[in-house]
Amino acid sequence: GVTLEEFICRICPDYVCRMPEDHLMGESCTCRRELYDDFDRLGIGNLAGRDLNDGFSGGEMKRSELFQVLSMRPKIMFLDEPDSGLDYDSLKIVGKELRAIKDEKSTTMVIISHHRYVLEFLEVDTVYILQNGQVVYTGDMSVIPKLEEKGYEQFLGEVTA
């Protein structure tokens, strides 16, 4: 198998280009500290030497997947329910990391979520409600309490975009 550490070093130009292939992740590499600092920021430093996704919990898997995407420094990210299946501690870690990316303004994020926490934590710019592939509502975060109180039915059938 391939460990999480090996996988990241092979997909991420920031880690790969600075390391000779024959001593990938050797102690003398300064980027080893950077890599592990990045792992620790998402709470997955203890997973680095384990086979990729082998025996990871749901939260560990989500944080590992997020790390894999972030290490590629994308210009745009589509995140489908990044908060699903996470316990509260993992939710805070993922939310904090996504917020840091938002604050850097280096990556555009399109987030699909059915839960308030990540959306509020990120202070999203725009909320869209879709029905059958059509935008039926465009607005700001003020719609969230209305959704929680009355559900989606109030928006279906009226196109505001």
pTM of the complete model beyond 0.75: no
3-state secondary structure labels for all residues of the chain:
CCEHHHHHHHHCHHHHCCCCHHHCCCCCCHHHHHHHHHHHHCCCHHHCCCECCCCCCHHHHHHHHHHHHHHCCCCEEEEECCCCCCCHHHHHHHHHHHHHHHHHCCCEEEEECCCHHHHHHHCCCCEEEEECCEEEEEECCCHHHHHHHHCHHHHCCCCCC
Tens-of-pLDDT digits for all 161 residues of the chain? 888 888 887 777 665 544 444 445 544 455 667 788 888 888 898 998 899 989 998 888 888 988 888 888 888 999 998 888 888 888 888 888 888 888 888 788 899 988 888 888 888 889 998 888 888 889 998 888 888 888 888 877 655 55
Angle subtended at Cα 93 by Cα 92 and Cα 94, rounded to the nearest 5 degrees: 95
Provide the residue ranges of all domains of the chain, joining segments of one domain with +.
1-71, 74-116, 126-161
Query: What distance in Å separates the CA atoms of residue 71 and residue 68, rounded to the nearest whole number?
Result: 5
